[in-house]
Structure 1
Amino acid sequence: MGTPFLLERYRRDRRNLLEFLFSEGLIRAPSRTSIDLAGLDLDSISADYVLDCLESGEEFDPSEATRRYFDGLKYPIMLNSSSTNSYYFVSEPEISGSPPRRAAPRLSSGMKITTNGTSSQVAKHDNLIGRDVGISGESRTKGVATADEPSRLLEDKDILSLGLPGLSTGISDDEIRETAYEVLLACLFCGGKVHFPEEMKKEKKTNFLKGLRSKREGLSSFPVPEDSHSDFLDIIRVQMEISEATNAFIRKGSRLSNLREMNEQIDVPCISLNLISVLYKLDFPSERLRMQWQRRQANILEELLGSVNMDSKMRETLQILLRKLRSIEEKVSDVYDGFFEILSLIKRYASKLSSMPGKYGFQSKAYYRTASYQFNIKLYEKLLYSVFDILEDGKILEEADEMLEVYEFTWSTLGITQKLHNVLYAWVLFQQFIKTGEFLLLKLAVLEMQKVLSHKNDEGTEEAYISSLICSVESYGSKRFLCLVDAIFFKIYLWCCYQLEDYHLHFAQEKSAIFGSVVNLAVLTQTTSADECAENKYFGSMAGNIPEWKLFHFFIVKSIQAAFKRACSLAENQSSVELKHPLAIVAHELKQVAEKEYTAFYPVLCQKYPKSGKLAFILLHLLYGERLKPFLEGLTHLSESVKEVLAASNTLELCLAHKLSSIYGDNVDSSATKYVHPYQISHYCAPLVLQWIHAQHDNILEWTKRAVEIEDWEPLSSQQRQAKSAVEVFRIVEETVDQFFSSNLPMDIIHLRSLLIGIVRSLEAYLLHIVNQQVDVTMLYPSTPALTRYAESIYPFMKKKFVQLTTLEEKMTFQLNTLTGPKLCVKLNTLHYIRDQLDTLEDTIKHSWNLVQSGFGLADYFSRISNGKSSVDVNVNLSACNGSVDELFALFDNVRRGAVTTSKMMLDFIGPRVIFWDMRDSFLFSLYRSSVNSARLEIFIPLLDQVLDRICDLIIDELRDQVVLKIFQASMDGFIWVLLDGGPSRAFSEADVPLMQEDLAMLKELFIANGQGLPFDVVEKEARLARQILDLFALKADTIIEMLVSASEQTAYHLKPTTGGRSCANDAQTLLRVLCHKKDGSASEFLKMHYQLPKSSDYDDIPSKEERTSTSPILSDIFRGAASGRRHPCDVGAAGRRRPTHPPPVPTFLSNSHCRQSQSPCA
């Protein structure tokens, strides 16, 4: 079953329930009498009132029940329960925003308060506001009342009332709708367009009604009815909400009447009188319905016949006849003659009036066209409203065009012309658009208005007739009498004015299409010049004398002013809540207004008023500037609130400049330049920004020192292996940079330079702290044992001599203990992180600065147009500025160089630290001690492997190979130290050389790591010196002696301890030490004869833990030379091997002198 028929069923069930309550005597009637259901319209009484009377036992008052019913239509539907009351919104609550924060308006003494406590005037205003919400969308300033004063348009009682003369009999809208349907059927029947058979097949009708909605939805599951006229009239009947019972007797009356036999023009009184004369009691479903219908016909006759200027006697006679007509309940035999006599008298009177001479060139029988035009217009409006779907008010039926063609048959009866039809249809479409917000209805209304304007009058006849249809409208505090067409134009224009005077409030950004149509509608209906509305206070000369320009100039000024006042009101309410300065909030709101103006409204307004953009954006700039100027003049320091205001003001000015520049360039009218006053934000904030940057210098430096002093040099995580202090420092730096650029304040290159200086100072302080924690690498090397010659001990229990060593200071030892391998890895990672972050920071600052530079051309835009200057070449200025900026970033190069230098220092330190300090017991003091077989390198390899694994886990991939290479170099130095300066306990025979060569190969394989470690050629290059020294131990002692003599001939020699800085295997010093550690009698005899070296068996060279380093000045010089990085020409492959600072001693057999045995082996 279709929805329209469900509505009819609900109404019928409601009537049945009410009839049951009254017929059972449950409702008390006045004066204990029974209630006359025949005289009671059950559709127009309040069910809530009936239930209240049933519950309380009060007497039933029909007039009160009717009043409560119509009052209830004005308010939302309520659901009353014991716990609470619920109601349904007419509009959607989610788009209504938060409740207003303003106090409720006071009720004036003149307002009539209804029973539910709501004034009728307030209800009317609510209805108007509800219509606005339908097209306006959600206001951006939620919860804040419009700051502007109430528009004078709202002072009208009803902006959408045409002001037609009122109906004296008070006929309701439902009665007018039913009368319109009767007139339509009568006109169609009289014109022979349709006929009404006495009996119609109900099943055919049922099929049509079921398929009514399906037809609109494109379905074809129901068969097409055979009687197309009947089906089409059923569509009209349903749309006009005429019940089947009412439709049945109206059709019967039209069929039985003699209207078709009349050869003259019919009118509404004629239709009513004919229906009264042919319909009887049995034709109506109930006596109550018959009495209602008869009273309605009497009211119609009184309305139409009583509107004539007649003497009092004739008027009194007519009223008596109509009163008798209302009182006759039935055409029974005793009153039958009296009924028709009354009816005959009324017909004669109506015929006399209709035969009066026509006016405005119309033929006779057209009297009622002009005498009762307001009633005819209301009837035609009801017909036009039927084209809207009763289930969806915003939709027009597919059959609308056919329906309008059918309604043309009523034109001659109701006095409608083509022009009147167009303007009334436009009015109906417009009202329905206001109600629903459906954009299509507005477009159709605009098209109908265009038809009205293009209509040509027929030699003045139609124009004279239309001019006689007078309406009374009120506007701007005065009453005007206009013809119907002008009244509709004027009312639509007033509504457009109300919307366009604050279009920022009434039109959401997504409603730009509706905005464009409203603008077109305002142009079409313009009946008042802008000069009559208000004086143009701002830029009045921009609009010139073009009326349309002046009109939109007025709209733009009013809307911008209203938006500005709303922003100020919003700022006052929210500043205490959001803890922001009101001017900052106002600037933010106005920026959104400007964006909305540029994207949504300007593309429409510029077509009607080319200068609309200039007016809107310059006016926004001016209004805010008037508020901002006193604030700027009182600035003394850069607090957070001041910073917010300056940033928001600068952003707003740049935004407005960008909008104006993108539209007009610098071509701004001279008439507007006098209103342009630049904010000059840079003038006020430049010293304050510099002061803020200097304060940030101290803040960053303090945080940097605090972070690095408490740093424990542990990795941040397994993925982030740098120190957390570096992350914290760059976080502070980045926050400062973000604050600097996000401040949206005007800045120049001086500010940027000051910012960079502060960053460089902090990072240099961080690097200096790392450098100060370092220890001289020479402190890591062990003291050199005494030079001895190999000799077997004859007395093994004889007391041996110990090496006297000098211990390190406690402070130096503590520093060395804190510089562990893992911590050194974290520091190296941190230094690399600093370089990477510095590059990223530089790119970020340059990018942000380029964005700032992009606004340089707009920064002085308002200054240029206020002075009448042309635009400058922004590209030239940007090029010069970019060159200066690149020079500024050279400051970062100092930090980069410092980080690289510190990294190199730590790389040179980490290898000796691991080999000569951390592993000195397991490697330097254990390898090959006493004998090679008992202390092979394979014992040391697993320990070194664990150290390398730990370091590779900590060091980042970019530095891994460098660190491992430094450890391998230190391993080679340690291996050479064991071979040449291992002390009295180390002596090697020729049979030991293959074993030591195997150990060297094992050590190299460890660092090559099957191709995953250091490259093979690099490892071979670094191990060349150790391999050459092992080759020397494989030679005979005599051969080595000859090599020593040959090497000594070139330079003068004296004894000197060796270090890992040896650069050549064939120099005299290396050869001498090979002889000292060679297990060979010839070598021992040579050393005894020419060097008087003591026997190795006389010394014990195992030092204690506290005596394994030396601070000897000589050793310091040697090790300092080892760390200096100088290379010797003969060192073709030993990267990292340094040449000793002094040559070896001269042999005694070459100098004919004997050197004394050294008494201090470590000196």
Structure 2
Amino acid sequence: MTMCLLLGRRMESVVLPLELIQLFRSSDFPSQQEYEAWLRRNLKVLEAGLLLHPHLPLDKSDPSAQSLRHIIRGAFEKPMDIGKNGESMQTFRTVVMSLSCRSSDGSISETCHWADGFPLNLWIYQTLLEACFDLHAESSVIEEVDEVLELIKKTWVMLGINEMLHNICFSWVLFHQYLVTGQVENDLLFASSNLLAEVGKDTGGSKDPIYTKILRNTLSLILSWAEKRLLAYHHTFHNGNIESMESVISLAVLSAKILEDISHDYNRKKKDDVDYTRVGNYIRSSLRTVFIKKLEKLDLCKHPSRKQNKAFPILSVLARDIIELAINEKAIFSPKLKRWHPLATGVAVATLHVCYGNELKKYVKGINELTPDAIEVLIAADKLEKDLVQIAVEDSVDSEDGGKSIIREMQPYEAEAVIATLVKSWINIRVDRLGEWVDRNLRQEVWNPGANKEGFASSAVEVLRMIDDTLEAFFLLPIPMHADLLPGLMSGLDKSLQQYILKAKSGCGSHSSFIPTLPALTRCSTRSKNGVFRKNEKSQVTQRRKAHVGTTNGDNSVDKTQMCVCINTMQRIRMELGVLEKRIVANLSSSISTNEDIANGVSLKFKLSTSAAVEGIHQLCKCVAYKIVFHDLWHVLWDGLYVGEVASARIEPFLQELEQYLEIASSTVHDKVRTRVIIEVMQASFDGFLLVLLAGGPSRAFSLQDSVIIEEDFKFLTGLFWSNGDGLPAELIEKHSTTVKGVLPLFHADTEHIIQQFSQLTMEMYGSTAKSRLPLPPTADQWSPTEPNTLLRVLCNRNDEAAAKFLKKNYNLPKKF
């Protein structure tokens, strides 16, 4: 500018290197060498501006260009002082001015173009802009920066610079200065970013290919540098330099937007999508990178082989590392990234969720059984997932979709489902083992009453211990869903124990197997029974009873004491199940999770086995009672009671032996079921008594006078169980005596009355078909004074001519022996 003032000419009409060469001589320099070096520098500037990078394209055959090349080549080969030779100087000036004043239309321009050719003008302008920095603190601009920039802008005409070129050049200079000074002064990046924003505003208005080329080259360099750092920003940024992150992101996004703007693909994307998409990619890329590094670090430090059985500490520790990483991401990086991506935190946690999920899938595929390691990994994964989802939801609460798009990216781990599947498999294995054990050990059980003090089966002790151990092991599993899986476990154990009970009681048979087959109906003989005949009758009947009376079907292989052990076993199971159920409630209340229904006790019962035990006790008590009465006391009941002469075959022998059996049974069975056994023995005795009276076969016959003895004997029978108030309650005995007491009056009822009542009831039963001939009524399920078969059997055993004739006439029944 000073030179222009000295020459009195405008800046754009001056070729500055030419004027300097013409103005200064070698004598103006300390030495010839310094002058020659200075001269060469100015010649290089002219060569660059007029020959190498001219403002307008230059034909290589142009005479002025050839002449200038010759002069410059000569000056480099033989140093000279152009100023000494006026003719040479004039030739030099003519050539330079001829080249600098060219115009596109061939006319001579008043403006000299010696420094505005691309890229020389930018190199020069960049050099000028570098003057804005302090020589002693290169990362800082000088205080007079505004004044210097105003002076530099005056060179725009000479250098062919405009506002757009200035912005991109100065942005690059600031960016480059940030790099070469150690990347410590964030203000340089911030200023560069602001200038780049201005460049972005003007991009659409320029179609200059040179400017476009400058933009593409410059911004590609900036974008490459920025993305290298942003694609792994966890490695690049930390609390100490986090403030520079926004400027780096801004540079990357602005560069990408401008490059999209000048590309052919610009119309394919919205401008707003560029920054959103790019920042999303940075987040995903950087977090994938840091995830892999953390995984590799754990792998190398602890388990180089990465075998399946050694993956537990990696995935467990990794889950904790990931949640810590997510929290740091939300606190440190997301606030910076949200300017360009509102769901920055959500994208981050979704990325971490996917990365961890991929590793978890590999691990789950290799799990074959429930192990502490597997549970630990799956619980850690479940907790991680819930924490990540919570962070994503909290971050997305103000977004348009409430974070649904982010949550959709996070495919559930279903860790709890995997745990549940493994636990169910664990349950099935143990339930199957218990079932196998039940089958094997029940076949070996001897039901020995002396096996232990309580008199129950040793197999029951073992099966209850196995159930208790299984439940204890279940509650020790470190899982969060005991309440949900407990019903399945209890159902399996319940069914196994039910099978034990059912198989145990099935080995003892049924009470009905001890009830004898009823003998055929007969009628009494009308001939009198006196003296000799009655005396011989009993012995004759006794000798022939096996061929002519009913027989029992009872299973003699199981002793009554063994049945009592089985009863005790059922009772023991009932009691232990109550204890187990209380323990389960206590364990469940201290568990992590609770289900309302289960907490209320709805699913905390061994329903099947408890019901089977109660039913088993009832059936076995009945079985013991019927075995005693109809098998063990068969000889005094069926073979003795009322056989022949009623008065001489009364109930005392039966009562004496029955009392002994009652004492044995009472001393063998558990206290809590003793009364039940005695009640069943009483009921069996009553049934046996009625069986003798109504189905005693041809060896028995009763007259009206015998009814007194029969009723007295029944009182003796009930008295045995009342035992002067020390036995069963009177009201209980009365309840069970109802059927017997309903039938006994028939034995002192008039024969004609019974015949009339029988005929009436039979006709009511069969209707018109009974008018011509009375049908033979079937045997009823229960004896009753209003039941035809009961009345018929009273008549069959009635030692009475009227009864005999009625039976002969209507049914032609055979006579008794």
- The structure in which a higher percent of residues are helix is 2
Please report the TM-score for the alignment, with normalisation by the length of structure 1. Answer: 0.34
TM-score (norm 2): 0.46
- Which is higher, the Rg of structure 1 or of structure 2? 2
